[in-house]
Amino acid sequence: MRGPFFNFLPIRFGVAVISAVSIALFSAGVAAHTGQAALYGGGFDAGFTHPFSGIDHLLVMLSVGIWSGRIGGRVTWLAPLAFVAMMVVGGAVGMAHLPLPHAEIGIALSVAIFGLILAVSWQPNLVIAIGVTGLFALFHGHAHGAEMGVTVSPLLYGLGFVLATAMLHLVGIGIAKVLCQSRQQDALLRWIGVSVSVVGCWLLAT
């Protein structure tokens, strides 16, 4: 039988996530897409570290995982896979220096929308879930590719940011599964979603 500690653990976990979002919002690294990828060498490490350099990338990738894990079924894995696949497409477009209109707005908007999705606990069918994640993944992939340093390997860079993205999705899925063990799961997910959406609105306004 699980004791009080295990019953309380999901609540503490959810509060920790919300706190991390708040800290990240006011941290010095909140500004994304500053060309930081060019500062790293080798390609792989540049691609792997870049998703962690911007709060927008970080929150969306975690949110996709949480959302997918919350819906369950095939969506748990196919929505994140769709995100990764379309991010690769967007990355290729960015590496080719082809423009993607309103990419920065699309990225900020994705943070606000995924936060809202979590807040209202929207659970669409598989096709719609894949379509939503894939659409916004294009913008994130384009930002990754466009900021790749000219001296790094596109293949290694791509492998790095795909691996980091997949890891963040898995963390998000894990958060969803942990929160599902709590009777307060709806309230916790609502607060997480609201926090993420606030960050997205802040990014849209700046």
- Position 183 scores a pLDDT of 79
35 domain-assigned: no
Contact 196, 64 (CB under 8 A): no
Q: How confident is residue 194, by pLDDT bands cut at 50, 70 and 90?
A: very high
Whether residue 123 is contained in a domain is answered as yes
pLDDT band at 123 (very low <50, low <70, confident <90, very high): very high
Which pLDDT score, from 0 to 100, does residue 169 have? 96
Share above pLDDT 70 across residues of the chain, in percent, rounded to a whole number: 79
Residue % of the chain over a pLDDT of 90: 51
Domain membership flag for residue 104: yes
Res 42: pLDDT? 59
Q: Is the C-alpha dihedral spanning 157, 161, 166, 170 positive or negative?
A: positive
* Cα-based distances in Å from 93 to 96, 140, 142: 5, 11, 6
- Taking alpha carbons only, the member of 165, 178, 198 closest to residue 86 is 165
Long-range contacts of 82-85 (CB under 8 A, 24+ apart): 82/130, 82/133, 82/134, 82/137, 83/133, 83/134, 83/136, 83/137, 83/165, 83/169, 84/137, 84/162, 84/165, 84/166, 84/169, 85/134, 85/137
Identify whether 27 is part of a domain.
no
Residues 6+ apart with CB under 8 A from 45: 160
The whole-angstrom separation of Cα 145 and Cα 112 is: 22
Rounded to two decimals, what is the model's pTM? 0.79
pLDDT category at 154 given cuts 50, 70, 90 is: confident
64 located within any domain: yes
For 95-139, the DSSP string reads HTT---TTHHHHHHHHHHHHHHHHHHT----HHHHHHHHHHHHHH
Domains contained in the chain, number: 1
- Write the pLDDT tens digit of every residue in 62-73: 999 999 999 999
* Residue 166, domain member (yes or no): yes
pLDDT value of position 126:
94
Whether the Cβ atoms of residue 111 and residue 59 lie closer than 8 Å to each other: yes
Instruction: State the DSSP code for 180.
Output: T
In this prediction, residue 152 carries a pLDDT of 75
Mean pLDDT (the chain) is 81
Determine the structural domain holding residue 107 and report its residue range: 4-18+42-205
Rounded mean pLDDT, 45-49: 84
Inter-residue contact 63 to 172 (CB < 8 Å): yes
For residues 31 and 143, is the Cβ–Cβ distance under 8 A? no
105 occurs within a structural domain: yes
Q: What is the mean pLDDT of residues 189-198?
A: 93
In 3D space, the residue among 148, 147, 144, 168 whose CA is nearest the CA of residue 59 turns out to be 168
Mean pLDDT of 170-180: 92
Is 31 within the bounds of a domain?
A: no
Q: How buried is 125 (Cβ within 10 angstroms: 0-12 exposed, 13-18 middle, 19+ buried)?
A: exposed
